[in-house]
Chain A
Amino acid sequence: MALLNVDELAVTFTARGRDDFRAVSGVSFTVDQGEVVGLVGESGCGKSVTSLALMGLLPSKGVRVGGRAEYDGTDLLTLPKSKLRDMRGTQLAMIFQDPLSSLNPVVPIGVQVTEILSRHRGLRGEKARKEAADLLDRVGIPDPTRRLKEYPHQLSGGMRQRALIAMAVACAPRLLIADEPTTALDVTIQAQILELLRELVDQEGTALLMITHDLGVVAGLCDRVNVLYAGKAVEAAERRELFAAPMHPYAHGLLGSIPRLDSPRGQPLNPIRGSINDQIPWSEGCAFAPRCDHYVMECLTGTPQLTEPAAAGHRVRCVNPVLDQSDLAGPVLDPPVMDTTGSEATARHPGGEA
């Protein structure tokens, strides 16, 4: 039994006078002790909403959450707010993208760390301060006793993220959810933070759910990867398997459109056409169909299901997956590109973004 077992998670935003918006509609994955699981996708794919739903941080009004998310046997989604609050920090903890806005600007770092220690671990006074300094030291903040007295704005971006991680791991949570923890940081600082996260997982056996848009980060850190598109997981595989043989045309396309540092220069990129706005509802077919090079007519016959067409444990939600990695040379069928900004749809030359 995995530590976290998310089954068909669905999050729907409902607002009066507007159509319901299904931000997440069927995301399933598991996270084991000492494992790093990645949720990858571009903006609007529902990865952040997933993490907020797991932490119970979505607003209670105007949101409908469905499915199950079992943490150690208890369903997080149906747990009363007060119970969940106790679990946050001690069992689950979250690291956010923007370390500055996640820290209280008018309270010194030390107070913010000791607050957590006193709330969840009952530490007070000198003992709490000492533990806080130890924590900062553990996440690689030099001169921790002095840093404890400083305010968030006095720390650099990397230090702030370290401080946040220190607060997240203060009570040795078993599951850590990191939502784009390095996106706001420079690459050299990003490397430091990723190293730190890896270390936490290896040494403490913490389970880490890593949410990111950066496939490079995923490649280096995650054990298993879930690729999300338009609120559904479209591909899930062990990391090497995914990067060696991405089967969903979207995952395939993503890898083809990233300029790689080690790829020979002059090799043209293969962008995915269109934009996230060119999608059809999942109930009608595959949301990715309008942008897909592998588009066939079956793509429009209802929601595609997750299957394992090639290797066991490598699941893909596609009726026409990329099985031969060399076959993306030319599009199977020239898909239409819609001009979604207008009422009339006009097919335009491929490569142009609609």
Chain B
Amino acid sequence: MSLLELNDIKVHFPVRRGILFDRVVGHVQAVDGISLSVEAGQTYGLVGESGCGKTTLGRAILRLVDITGGEVLFDGTDLAQLPEEEMRRSRRRLQMVFQDPLGSLNPRQNIESILAEGMAAHGIGGNREERRAKILKVLDRVGLPDSALARYPHEFSGGQRQRIGIARALVLEPDVIICDEPVSALDVSIQAQVINLLEELQEQLGLTYVVIAHDLAVVRHISDVIGVMYLGSLVEEANSDDLYANPQHPYTKALMSAVPVPDPEVEDTRERILLTGDLPSPSNPPAGCRFHTRCPWKQPTRCDTERPVLTDTGSGHRVACHFVNEIASGELAPTSALAPEILGASGDGEPSGAAAETDADAPGQGGTPA
């Protein structure tokens, strides 16, 4: 059985409006029916663009937001049904690392107090000395000096602050750490330090990670399994290498082709699938497949009426697309009519036809030279 299993998780935020009394006029469907499972000791990467609901999903696992429906099975217990106090206690085993290293640390607490807080809340380490000994051990583990204890968050650099955030999670000896954009606020050279630290810790402590990020390269580097989110739901899920070698959902293809690679040779030869338009509003998501408004492969039937479900296309590679097989075999070409001004106007001579050839190839590798 998986350590963490989500079953049809839904998080809808009410939209209230009104002059005198607030009425609920609609719902933002931040997360709308996500099922996935995370194996112990593994890293599950959730990737998606802003507004896709990945952060909300991460918070829903810890019940930091109210869950509208579905199950969060952690070690066999449904967290969604737990009473408040029991949920609070089970947070010891599920910890979180936040995006903004400074904002997630109370500016008026010194490091010792920040790290001791969780221990006090869960009654770990009887007295002050024991707690301090443990804190020092964890600080050493994340690469911070003992002298950090008495300092305040604003006295550290960004990378160090993120180490403090990681240490804060580690002192509770959790099983699962949910990392919400753990490196996106950091400089490139510091990012690598933190990524390496997370990997080291996983190796040493057997941690299970759920890594939420918008940067596909980071997610691919760190994750065993990757789930791609679009507008509140998973559109594709596969193990990291599979997803890279063989992205099947049109959105994943477009996403992968858009990630810049720091290598001119790759950049010059890769094909881009440029999406048109913007993310629709999650308070009024499109009917049918949520991606159909921007999909270059959109078909006149089914796409705008019937919502696709995640289906296994072989060896655990799950895709939510009605026409995944047809797209993979090249039977379907992208409909350029949907992408007039971008695809047609692209200066590098990348007409829509070029995108049709991407199907089985890994984007960024094969294809037409610019």
Contact = CB atoms under 8 A, between A and B. Distances in A.
Contacts of B192: 256-259, 269-272
Contact of A188 (B148, B189, B196, B258): B258
B261 A262 contact: yes
A291 B193 CA distance: 13
Given A156-B279, A259-B221, A270-B192, A219 B260 contact: yes
A220 B260 contact: yes
Interface stretch (A28-36, A190-198, A295-303, A314-322): A190-198
A187 B255 contact: yes
B263 interface: yes
A188 B254 contact: yes
Main secondary structure of the interface of B (DSSP, over half): helix
Contact of A219 (B218, B264, B347): B264
B342 A260 contact: no
A57 B361 CA distance: 47
Interface string A246-279: 0000000111111111110100111111011100
A260 B217 contact: yes
B345 A341 contact: no
A198 B267 contact: no
Interface stretch (A62-70, A95-103, A345-353): A345-353
Given A43-B187, A253-B189, A219 B263 contact: yes
Contacts of B102: none
Contacts of B364: 261-262
Interface string A180-220: 00000011111110110011001100000000011111111
Interface string B193-207: 101100100000000
Contact of A239 (B148, B160, B257, B264): B264
Interface residues of B, number: 65
A199 B345 contact: yes
B341 interface: yes
B282 interface: no
A256 B49 CA distance: 25
B275 A188 contact: yes
Q: Which has the most chain B C-beta neighbours within 10 Å: A158, A240, A262, A342? A: A262
A255 B50 contact: no
B342 A219 contact: no
A42 B191 CA distance: 11
A26 interface: no
Contact of A265 (B144, B156, B241, B261): B241
Given A187-B255, A261-B256, A199 B347 contact: yes
B370 to A, nearest CB: 9
Contacts of B157: 275-277, 340-341, 353
Contacts of B168: none
A159 interface: yes
A137 B340 CA distance: 12
Interface residues of A, number: 65
Interface string A115-144: 000000000000000000000010010100
Contacts of B257: 191
A282 interface: no
Contacts of B342: 140, 192, 195
A259 B195 CA distance: 9
A243 interface: yes
Contact of B267 (A220, A256, A346): A220
A149 to B, nearest CB: 18
B158 interface: yes
A248 B155 CA distance: 30
B214 interface: yes
Contacts of A340: 157
A339 interface: yes
A262 B199 CA distance: 19
Contacts of A142: 277, 341
A341 B160 contact: yes
Interface in B157-198: 157-160, 163, 187-193, 195-196
A271 B196 contact: yes
B262 A243 contact: yes
Given A186-B214, A259-B221, A275 B188 contact: no
A159 B278 CA distance: 9
Contacts of B199: 268
Contacts of B151: 341
A351 B143 contact: yes
A191 B188 contact: no
Contacts of A198: 347-348
B319 interface: no
Contact of A202 (B148, B191, B265, B347): B347
Contacts of B268: 220
Contacts of B147: 339, 341-342, 346
B272 A260 contact: no
A15 B56 CA distance: 44
A353 B193 contact: yes
A277 B190 CA distance: 12
Contacts of A273: 193
B220 interface: yes
Interface centre among B156, B163, B192 (most CB of A within 10 A): B192
Nearest to A253: B189
B278 A189 contact: yes
A341 B264 contact: no
B228 to A, nearest CB: 12
Which of B143, B151, B163 has the largest number of chain A CB atoms within 10 A? Answer: B143
Contacts of B277: 142
A38 B40 CA distance: 44
Contacts of A188: 49, 254-255, 258, 274-275
20 contacts: A140-B341, A187-B259, A195-B348, A199-B346, A199-B347, A216-B261, A219-B264, A220-B268, A259-B222, A261-B256, A269-B221, A275-B160, A276-B187, A341-B155, A341-B160, A346-B145, A346-B147, A352-B144, A352-B193, A353-B163
Given A199-B347, A261-B244, 10 more contacts: A187-B216, A195-B346, A198-B348, A202-B347, A216-B267, A254-B188, A261-B220, A346-B147, A352-B144, A353-B159
Interface of A: 42-43, 137, 140, 142, 156-159, 186-192, 194-195, 198-199, 202-203, 213-220, 239-240, 243, 253-263, 265, 268-273, 275-277, 291, 339-342, 346, 348-349, 351-353
6 shortest interchain CB distances as A-B pairs? A216-B260, A257-B192, A352-B143, A199-B347, A271-B192, A259-B221
